[in-house]
Amino acid sequence: MIEIEARLDELRALGLERRTSLVSGPQGPHVLLDGKPVLLLCSNNYLGLADDPRVRAAAAEAAMRWGVGAGASRLVSGTMTIHRRLEQRLAAFERRQAALLFGSGYLANTGVISALARPGDVVFSDELNHASIIDGCRLSRAEVFVYNHCDLEHLRWGIGRAEGRGALVATDGVFSMDGDVAPLAEIAELAARHRMRVLVDEAHGTGALGPGGRGAAAAAGVEEQVDVIVGTLGKALGSYGAFVACDSTMARYLVGAARTFIFSTALPPPAAAAALAALELLQERPERVHKLAANAAVLRTELEREGFDLRGARTQIVPLVIGEPGLATAICEAARRRGVFAQAIRPPTVPPMTSRLRLAVMASHREQELRTAARMLGTAARACGLPLRGAGARPLEPARPAQTRHALAAAPAQPGRREVFDVEVRAA
């Protein structure tokens, strides 16, 4: 048996040991990190609603009215009034017949995918999908075709090899570590042609993209072609929990088939009430969505001036891919000393040799402080020995994710393509 200390030593040697930092105060644009003031550039509180006075007041009032806990699964102790109100407002927001609350985005994806796909089916999953989609595919016991990131040709080829057994295409709308957006219009067209459902995880799109902040599917104009939208309450809406928006028949099915809904305690009333207040604020003040986009554009422009290669990011998520985990950690610490907190993300969250600083912009950031942060990040990177493009460096090429391979059919693979009919090893 391997001792835990030995495993810790191995993680340290690989530059993968982790620790948490103590944040004092709410998750606003500025926090005290281990007692020192920093600009927070790694929170998913995109619209700055987590510490909004109206959202706070709604949570406090709900705690006094309904208590702090839901007591049990909704199938055991019933649906509370605040849950029903929030589901109705979310369904209306997403322009769907129904919405169903889950305890987290992870629970939503694992529960829905494992309910919609069965042994013998094939699920098609982007190789950079979030870990919750990956694990949902595993739990479904269906075969899984992992297609190259946003590669429609590879997806089309895989669908052909599935010979009519395709059940579902599952994809992030906005990819959480890369900041790029799935080609949803083309995915929806392919799925419709082959009579498959489409699931889009809008965790990082809700409140950030599309008309009214409805997400990447709305931005692509394919809301009606997407069968299941998975959204989170814990990012742009500043609270905690998640939801699935779909038609009423699907919602009724998931109540009895999604194990993560059946066997999980319902969302705490304060979290539900806070999300409801945040949703109301989003609908009343859609300019927050535009402010978020403007801030993200400012940061991306300044980082490119510093010489960073942003890999085509075009959302509020901005990756600075470094490569080695130790170097990414060193740059993170150097930036912290300069007053900027941008967390280093390392394997298994991202593929080997693509460790990065994952920057996340908020609508509540000021443009000037974002410009200053970009300069501090450039200074920190150069101080740690990272050559930037402006200094004559060549951009680092990301390694491909480690994957397991299982041939769906015995026929030779298409030249230049990989047959991947199993879930990738990497955890997103």
Are the beta carbons of 212 and 218 closer than 8 angstroms? yes
Distances (CA, A) of 427 to 25, 131, 253, 402, 424: 30, 5, 28, 10, 8
Q: Which residue in 83, 235, 291, 365 is the catalytic one?
A: 235
**Pairwise CA distance, residues 126 & 149, whole Å:** 5
Q: Which residues contact 90 (CB under 8 A, 6 or more apart)?
A: 99, 231, 243, 245, 279
Q: Which of 257, 266, 208 is nearest to 228 (CA)?
A: 257
Q: Which residue in 83, 130, 154, 204 is the catalytic one?
A: 204
Contacts 24+ apart (CB under 8 A), 155-160: 155/124, 155/187, 155/190, 156/190, 157/414, 157/417, 158/124, 158/408, 158/421, 159/124, 159/190, 159/194, 159/196
- Is 235 annotated as catalytic? yes
- Is 291 annotated as catalytic? no
**Pairwise CA distance, residues 214 & 216, whole Å:** 7
- Is 176 annotated as catalytic? yes
**Pairwise CA distance, residues 34 & 24, whole Å:** 8
Q: Which residue in 176, 239, 355, 364 is the catalytic one?
A: 176
Active site members: 176, 204, 235
